[in-house]
Amino acid sequence: MSLRMLPLVVIASCTVACADNAVRARAFVDSGDRHIASGQLDAAVIEYRNAVKRNPASAEAQRKLGDAHVALGKPDEAYRAYSTAVELDPSDTRSYIGAGRLLLSVGMYDEANVRAEQALDYEPRNVDAMVLAGRALARLSRVAESIGAFQTAIAADPQPAAFIGLGDVKRTSGDVAGAQAAYRQAVALHPQSVDARIALAQFLMADHPAEAEQNLVKAVNANPSDELANRSLASFYIAADRRREAEPFRRSGRAAESEAALDARARRLLHDRRPARRCARDSHARERRERSGGRRESAARGARLRSRTEGRGASAPRQDSEEDADRRSVDGEGAIPRERTQARRGVESRARRRRFRPPDCDRALIIGSIELENGNYDEAEHAFREVLRLKKTTTAATLQLARTKLAAGKTADAVALAQSAGSALGARLTLARALIADGQIATARNELLQLEVEGTKSADPSVLLGSLELDGGNIDAALQHAGRAFPLRPTPSMRCC
């Protein structure tokens, strides 16, 4: 009789042990949440890791671990946590969005868009996913689709991030009036929003500095302890040579910022007419955002996003169900029958979920970009050379490797790699910076002048030329180049996606 009962005893013991682990994991997660609420991020990471040890199948613990790593500025660890969370729970849309934001921040725009679409597969009206898709599409120069994504987000829930994204893409596409309307609408609907006030202030900075200052002051008054609001106003005053007025706001953040760092922030905020030459490491982050990313979308993906965004502007909230007319697609040949479209989407959606973990070369490219962002140049170089060894996406890997060499101060190697990275804007800007760092000023000037003449939408060629002229003592020429850069100046990224 005792032998017959033994299997039941073992099963009961395992069940009790598993239940006990789940309860303890829940306690660790709750403790981590309390640490997050009190700003103790390192302690929160420890608690979430304890939860993962107790219950390795907890997607929630992995996702919250990823969020904590993001707050601590550890994007590589955050990306791993989000990836694990999605493997454990393919419907975890917050992890898709978290991973997508990290990809967007390192210039992996097409991949970021895929993460947004994966989230939308499960939650078609997720505004954060729509905003992520809109920003990624804007970086890929797919302006109409980007505007559609932001308008759909506004129709679903008019959050500041959606208006700011819409204003940004309209601004870069030359629709100045449309951009201003979007920024002002964000402030009108969300007058307490720091991000909305700062976005409008940055838009007004060049032509209406007094109104820009008013918006920054209102942002601080509405959010006296907000670090971004205080430091943005401090940067404004420093750029305007009003340092005494800047001091109270400079000291209102969580930690005092160095004078050099605040000066750099001020130059970024205003795109100063006296651009100073930046070292390779300082210039890398802005240059990386100019990377033009390959257009690898399939016809099904393009049709899918158009069907989601087409015909649904900001004033017309979505009325259809997922199985109705908005589930139809349009491609180059006209309307696709709904049954065919739905079948294609089902296969495509399942395929995307299966391939959430990128192939080896893409993983290496992502890891290399994150390591480069973190200043780990040896690790970044190792990752990019692994991509080249696999003989895939070689242009992107060569360009990133050139940027790594430039950031590490190996200018001759950077020049050679940039020259072999193609003729895209990012490659040519990297080449110009490498030439400057290598002392080949005349060659760099010729390259930048050619970019300026070609009418690129980037302000970087004019800013770099202005810096060269300023270093040479030619103030008038520097001001002319800076004047050309003003209409093209980018909006610094907000805290929202």
For residue 478, the number of C-alpha atoms closer than 13 Å in the C-beta half-sphere is: 17
Give all domains of the chain, ordered by start, each with its CATH number. Answer: 17-89 (1.25.40.10), 360-488 (1.25.40.10)
Q: Hunting for tokens 């109104």 — which residue is that?
A: 211
Identity of the amino acid at 131? V
Kindly state the DSSP code that residue 240 receives in the 8-state scheme: T
pLDDT per residue as tens digits for the range 83-128: 999 999 999 999 999 999 999 988 888 889 999 999 999 999 999 9
Beta carbons within 10 angstroms of residue 84's beta carbon: 21
**Rounded CA separation 208/183 (Å):** 14
Residue 258's pLDDT band (cuts 50, 70, 90):
very low
Residue 137 predicted with pLDDT over 50: yes
**3-state SS assignment for residue 35:** helix
Q: Do the Cβ atoms of 308 and 329 come closer than 8 Å?
A: no
**Rounded CA separation 28/39 (Å):** 16
Measured CA to CA in angstroms, residue 271 lies from 173, 202, 258, 274, 485 at distances of 19, 10, 19, 8, 8
Backbone Cα Rg of the chain: 25
Instruction: Output the CA torsion sign for 429, 434, 437, 443.
Output: negative
> What's residue 384's pLDDT?
81
Structure tokens at 55: 């219950």
pLDDT per residue as tens digits for the range 146-166: 999 999 999 999 999 999 999
pTM tops 0.75: no
> What's residue 234's pLDDT?
86
**Rounded CA separation 64/189 (Å):** 30
Q: How many helices (H) and strands (E) does the chain have?
A: 26, 2
Identity of the amino acid at 223? N
**3-state SS assignment for residue 104:** helix
Structure tokens at 169: 């893409």
Residue percentage of the chain with pLDDT more than 70: 69
- What is the average per-residue pLDDT within 425-431? 88
Q: Hunting for tokens 């947004």 — which residue is that?
A: 116
**Rounded CA separation 469/463 (Å):** 10
Residue 482 predicted with pLDDT over 70: yes
| Closest residue by Cα to residue 94 from 74, 109, 116 | 116
Which of the listed ranges 6-15, 91-100, 357-366, 409-418 does the model predict with the highest average pLDDT? 91-100
Identity of the amino acid at 6? L
pLDDT per residue as tens digits for the range 4-52: 555 555 455 545 445 567 788 889 999 999 999 988 989 999 999 999 9
User: Mind giving me the DSSP string for 337-385?
Assistant: PHHHHHHHHHHHHHHHHHT-S--HHHHHHHHHHHHHHTT-HHHHHHHHH
Structure tokens at 166: 């819409």
pLDDT per residue as tens digits for the range 194-252: 999 999 998 998 889 999 999 999 999 998 888 888 888 888 888 888 888 888 887 76
For 335, phi then psi, to 5°, come to: -70, 140
> What's residue 186's pLDDT?
95
| Closest residue by Cα to residue 150 from 180, 171, 128 | 128
pLDDT per residue as tens digits for the range 320-353: 433 333 333 333 333 333 433 444 444 444 444 4
Residue 402 predicted with pLDDT over 80: yes
Structure tokens at 479: 């001001």
Measured CA to CA in angstroms, residue 12 lies from 7, 15, 16, 25, 334 at distances of 9, 5, 6, 20, 61
Beta carbons within 10 angstroms of residue 311's beta carbon: 14
Structure tokens at 182: 């979007």
**Rounded CA separation 486/269 (Å):** 12
For 363, phi then psi, to 5°, come to: -60, -40
Beta carbons within 10 angstroms of residue 387's beta carbon: 24
**Rounded CA separation 399/5 (Å):** 66
Mean pLDDT for all residues in the chain: 75
Q: Do the Cβ atoms of 105 and 75 come closer than 8 Å?
A: yes
